[in-house]
Structure 1
Amino acid sequence: MDPHLNIAVVEDHEALRIVTVEALQSRGHRVTGVESAESLQEMLGNQPLELVVVDVNLPGEDGVSLARRLKQSHPDLGVIVVSAGTRLDDKLDAYECGADIYLTKPIAVEELCAAAGALGKRIQRTSHPPPSGFSLDLKRMRLRGPAGEISLTSQDATLLAALVRAPGRRLETWQLLEQLGWLETGKIALEVPVSRLRRKFSVVGATANPLIAIRKQGYQLSCDVVIA
């Protein structure tokens, strides 16, 4: 599914502006139409924008100049330039000024909407990169990571929470056994919950060993985990 975006359409031809706005709105986007660069400037201070569709031939400041200025002040803003110009130089000028996509009139609304959707996905991936850390939800007994989440046993959660809270994220064997209420057992008993936790970390996206065994001492948590 395409992301829903905040879009401005800058087009001085009223009928074409209305058609473009309605087509984008029909895809779930939040769209405002304006007739000039000056009108867009007034709107920029009132609402956040993620994408602008700009006609080249505008009254006052032209669309290519506007694209350049928008990219300079809002580098993450998506810009689609539309124009009747078909020459290669026209397209190159627009791209050099910051256009992400150049579409030649007449444009089918389906093509414009597809271009907006594709650019929107790229914008949102850049603005919201996948999380790289892990979180422990003690209330729901869940471990979350870049690849999803998984349920934990009470032993899993207790062991992981103790390591997260420990100085340097390191605990000696007897300290971990104490947390689990296993002081009467040997250190070999820890191997089962440690192995299980490693496997669950792998399921949610860990690419390295999250629980490092410290010879003759204990274990250290090697990744960032936030307790939710």
Structure 2
Amino acid sequence: MDPCLNIAVVEDHEALRLITVEALQSRGHRVTGVESAECLQEALGNQSLDLVVVDVNLPGENGVSLARRLKQSHPDLGVIVVSVRNRLDDKLGAYECGADLYLTKPVSVEELCAAAAALGKRLQRASHPTPQGFSLDLKQMRLRGPSGETSLTAQDATLLAALVRAPGQRLETWQLLEQLGWLDSSGKMALEVPVSRLRRKFTLVGATGNPLIAIRKHGYQLGCAVVID
């Protein structure tokens, strides 16, 4: 399903502006149409924007200047520039000023709506990145992640499975030692070797952060999402 976007259409040609606004609204977007850059802030008030469709030839501030200004203040805003100008220099200038897409008029409403939907999905993925996911295969004693898989020792698998199953994915030192059968060992120092080994294996399969977070005077907590297969 396409994301529902807050869109502003900045177009001084009234009939074209109305057609564009209605087409985007018919796709489920919330759309505001204005005739100039100067009218944009007044029309929006405190409303935030996901995407702006802006014509180059506007009365007052032109569309390229508006695109530059909007991108400087809102780097995550999507900008689609539309223009009758089809020279390469015009397109490159618009992209240098922050345009994400440059469409040459006449643009069909179907193409414009498709472009808005595609750009909206891209912006949505960028602002909500997919979290790293890992899986623990207890039967085959393997850890799998975005970059591949690696084998685990019995200690590795026991330690990781205990953390995955724990409330909040956190366990105290004595609980982890109990899982490993090491209650008579020298406390947290005994865990340093298996924890360090498990961290290295997470790195091998694609972890970029700290997968096992040491909690001072407590124990350890998982720092990434792990499921048990």
Pair in the same fold by TM > 0.5: yes
Q: Determine the structure 2 residue equivalent to 1:152.
A: none
> Offset of 1:171 from its aligned partner?
1.4
Q: Which residue of 2 aligns with 1:5?
A: 5
Partners of 2:27 and 2:222 lie apart in 1 by: 44
Q: Distance in 2 between matches of 1:113 and 1:106?
A: 14
RMSD of the alignment, in Å?
Answer: 3.8
Residue 114 of structure 2 aligns to a residue in which SS? Answer: helix
Percentage of identical aligned residues = 71
Aligned position for 2:166: 161
Partner of 1:187: none
Cα 1:171/1:89, change in 2 over 3 Å? same
- Partner in structure 2 of residue 181 of structure 1: none
Q: Which amino acid aligns with 1:107?
A: V
Q: How is 1:144-155 mapped onto 2 (pairs within 5 angstroms)?
A: none
Change (3 A) 1:38 1:224: same
Letter of the 1:117 partner, please give it.
A
**Distance in 2 of aligned mates of 1:70 and 1:168:** 51
Shift in alpha-carbon separation, 1:169–1:28, aligned structure 2, 3 A: farther
TM-score (norm 2): 0.64
Q: Decide whether aligned partners of structure 1 residues 44 and 163 sit closer, same or farther in structure 2, where only a CA change above 3 A counts.
A: closer
For residues 121-173 of structure 1, give each alpha carbon's deviation from its aligned partner in whole angstroms, at most 9, with x where no partner exists: 11000111113479xxxxxxxxxxx9xxxxxxxxx899822683423696122
Q: 1:221 to 1:104 in 2, by over 3 A?
A: same
| Residue equivalent to 1:123 | 123
Match of 2:176 among 171, 175, 178: 171
Mind listing any 5+ residue stretches in structure 2 that lack a counterpart?
A: 135-145, 147-160, 182-204, 213-218
Question: 1: CA distance between counterparts of 2:168 and 2:28?
Answer: 45
CA distance in 2, matches of 1:20, 1:66: 19
Paired position in structure 1 for 2:25: 25
1:86 aligns to what SS in structure 2? Answer: coil
CA distance in 1, matches of 2:53, 2:101: 9
For structure 1, the 5+ residue unaligned runs are 135-145, 147-155, 177-204, 213-218
What residue is the counterpart of 1:96 in the other structure? 96
Moved more, 40-49 or 94-103: 40-49
Q: Structure 1 residue runs of 4+, over 6 Å off?
A: 156-159
Partner SS, residue 46 of structure 1: coil
Shift of 1:38: 1.0
Q: In structure 2, how many angstroms separate the alpha carbons of the residues matched to 1:68 and 1:174?
A: 58
**How many residue pairs were aligned?**
176
Cα pair distance change 1:159/1:20, threshold 3 Å: closer
